[in-house]
Amino acid sequence: MNECLNFVGELGVAKAGIIILRERYKNNIGIIRVNNKYVKEVKMALSLVKDIKIDVLGVSGILNKTKRFIEKTEDKRKCNLL
């Protein structure tokens, strides 16, 4: 959130409506809800976060569709561990 504030400012964050859905965070995979007009800005702000790697698995207009991205990623992780 701090990087978003630094990159797009307080007004930009307010317009983007950034919400980190903490209840959907599991196994280092999470969901960030954002206005569709500000997806590029939020991606750029996330890329500026230091010392961690952030991969965007997908962008969806419907929150329930994001479950597919998470399930696919978890399946890939399981296959790599075997």
**Which CATH number do you get for residue 71?**
3.30.70.3250
pLDDT at position 80? 64
pLDDT at position 74? 74
Domain extent for 64: 2-81
Low-confidence ranges of the chain (pLDDT < 50): 82
pLDDT at position 37? 92
* Tally of domains in the chain: 1
Do the Cβ atoms of 19 and 35 come closer than 8 Å? no
pLDDT at position 82? 41
pLDDT at position 48? 85
Structure tokens at 79: 């296959």
Taking the model in full, what pTM does it have?
A: 0.68
Give residues with Cβ within 8 angstroms of 63, minimum separation 6: 31, 33
Partners of 26 in the β-ladder: 29
